[in-house]
Amino acid sequence: MKGSVIIAAGGTGGHISPGVALAEVLSEKAKQFGFDSVYIHSLVRNKNNPDLLNPPCEVVWHNIPQLGGLKTIIYPFLFLYPFLKTVLTFRKLKINAVIGMGGYSSLPAILYAILFRKALYLCEQNCVPGKITRVFARFANKVAFSFPLEEGYLIPGKTIGNPIRKRVIPEHLNIRQNENLHEGKKNTINVLVLGGSQGARQLNQMILKAMENPDIASKYKFRLLTGTNLYEETKTKAKEEAEIISYANDMKPNYEWANLVVARSGAGVVAECLVFGLPMILIPYPFAADNHQKANANYLEKEGAAVTIHSTSDDPTPLVQFLLLWKDHSEVLREMGHVSLALSNVNAAYQTVTYFFHDSH
């Protein structure tokens, strides 16, 4: 298959990061997979996304409007002009294959593939497939899943794992970060708190309140990545000693420091925690589309890599209970970490590309 491949990765970091991971593999091995060039198709508003500031290949920017609200009736008209621009650009770039990473921003690239009979491949990050996957899977040559789909979704495809960017992959694979936690010893348990790129006030508040418990403060050390918007607010409210960071461009040192992660259950963060063999306390974002974060968290809890707290308040009680339970039983964290590592796939990006373009099955 000569010509070029384009990866439609816009929307949120959850779509962009795995798309960039695929672009890294394809850029290095384009000829091996039968392509002349590789491109990423992303929204103009993502120009400052850290993954797209120094991308592995050229980014083709577009400005497709978001669906919803009052615009719904006139959406086809708003969509038409940017879509026609996409068609002309793709023809010029000789796009012969499209990889859709999900989200409304992948729509123009997917429609291009369908209308002009180009190869179409879809990546689904969550246990509950997004609308784009549900609608367009029937047109796709192949669909790759990051996690097993929740019961009731019958979309043919292969579960491979969420593609991980090179700069996040651990130096030492099969890392066992909790082997140094032994019962009865005084060593501190490091807790990394991740609220996502926008931050999560609920998580920050819950942690600050939990730290007021003297037993927790004496055993656990907290590092909060608050998100830029909530940094000042969290810093002001912190009574106890915690490391408070607004944003980290390089996540690897944070994962290597941690023994435990408290986070939302977006597919990207979860996949990164898995490759570092980290146990997780997951607090799903309750307003995520189709409640997909709840499904992701439930899957990891069922497997034994995480525990979940389904709550919209910042009441620290369930969090405090887990932390007190594990304070003198770090073997639980070690075991969860082993499960976490067993569920990870550090080579998901390469395997996904191979599945799409080399496997005949």
Domain spans of the chain?
4-166+346-357, 189-343
- Contact (CB, 8 A) for 270 and 299: no
> What are the residue ranges of helices labelled H in 40-195?
50-53, 75-92, 107-115, 131-136
Residue 327 backbone phi and psi in degrees, to 5: -50, -45
pLDDT in tens, 134-147: 999 999 999 999 99
For residue 3, name the pLDDT band (cuts at 50, 70, 90).
very high
Q: Is a pLDDT exceeding 80 seen at residue 287?
A: no
With tokens 């939990």, the residue in question is 210
Average pLDDT of the chain, as a whole number: 89
The whole-number pLDDT of residue 181 equals 63
From 23-32, 228-237, 246-255, 271-280, the region with the lowest mean pLDDT: 228-237
What does the alpha-carbon distance between residue 218 and residue 211 come to, in Å, rounded to a whole number? 9
What does the alpha-carbon distance between residue 41 and residue 86 come to, in Å, rounded to a whole number? 9
What does the alpha-carbon distance between residue 173 and residue 339 come to, in Å, rounded to a whole number? 15
Q: Is a pLDDT exceeding 50 seen at residue 361?
A: no
Is the sign of the CA dihedral 160, 163, 166, 170 positive or negative?
negative
For residue 176, name the pLDDT band (cuts at 50, 70, 90).
low
Domains 4-166+346-357 and 189-343 share a fold: yes
For residue 68, name the pLDDT band (cuts at 50, 70, 90).
low
The whole-number pLDDT of residue 77 equals 83
Q: Is a pLDDT exceeding 80 seen at residue 350?
A: yes
* Other beta carbons within 10 Å of 286: 12
The whole-number pLDDT of residue 360 equals 46
Average of per-residue pLDDT across 236-259: 81
Average of per-residue pLDDT across 3-7: 97
The whole-number pLDDT of residue 1 equals 62
Q: 93-125 burial by CB neighbour count: b if 16+ within 10 A, else e? A: bebbbbbbbbbbbbbbbbbbbeeeebbbbbbbb
With tokens 């990545």, the residue in question is 225
Average of per-residue pLDDT across 34-38: 95
Residue 56 backbone phi and psi in degrees, to 5: -75, -10
> What are the residue ranges of helices labelled H in 13-74?
13-29, 50-53
Which CATH number is 189-343 given?
3.40.50.2000
Half-sphere exposure in the Cβ direction for 240 (13 Å, CA): 20
Residue 184 backbone phi and psi in degrees, to 5: 85, -15
The whole-number pLDDT of residue 313 equals 82
Which CATH number is 4-166+346-357 given?
3.40.50.2000
Tokens of 296: 């992701």
What does the alpha-carbon distance between residue 161 and residue 163 come to, in Å, rounded to a whole number? 6
Tokens of 75: 């959406």
pLDDT in tens, 92-147: 999 999 999 999 899 999 999 999 999 999 999 999 999 999 999 999 999 999 99
The dihedral formed by the CA atoms of 54, 164, 94 and 31, expressed in degrees to the nearest 10: 100
Top pLDDT among 197 and 279 is at 279
For residue 186, name the pLDDT band (cuts at 50, 70, 90).
low
